[in-house]
Amino acid sequence: MQDLQPIPVAPSGATPAPTGQKLHAQAVQLEAAFLSEMLKCAQVGRPMESFGGGIGEEQFASFLRDAYSEKMAEKGGIGLAESIFHALTRGQGNV
């Protein structure tokens, strides 16, 4: 039999601090989710009355909104991601 080695586990509640790049990426994802909801309220992707694509178009409209919002957030969006990122780094003491 082989000797079993214990797997090192971090103490409960201790999580490594995310890097700046990871925090910024998460802030951009959050802005994209917010923008997607705003586009939904603005009825972007809503099927047209005439020449509509039927139920399939209605079901896939959310994918179109999500793609739009992700691209908007990647290009700077409305500046929400930057505000979130700065708030998160300030909370870590990394001003």
- Note whether residue 5 is domain-resident: no
- Note whether residue 78 is domain-resident: yes
Q: pTM of this prediction?
A: 0.67
Q: Count the domains in the chain.
A: 1
- Note whether residue 39 is domain-resident: yes
- Note whether residue 24 is domain-resident: yes
Please give the full DSSP string across 27-51, using - where no structure is assigned. HHHHHHHHHHHHHHHTTTTPPPSSS
The domain containing residue 85 runs over which residues? 20-45+53-91
Q: pLDDT tens per residue, the chain (95 residues)?
A: 456 666 565 565 555 556 888 889 999 999 999 999 999 888 876 766 666 667 777 778 888 899 999 999 999 889 999 998 998 888 666 55
Position 27 scores a pLDDT of 92
- Note whether residue 63 is domain-resident: yes
- Note whether residue 66 is domain-resident: yes
- Note whether residue 4 is domain-resident: no
Position 38 scores a pLDDT of 92
- Note whether residue 14 is domain-resident: no
Q: Are 13 and 59 in contact (CB under 8 A)?
A: no
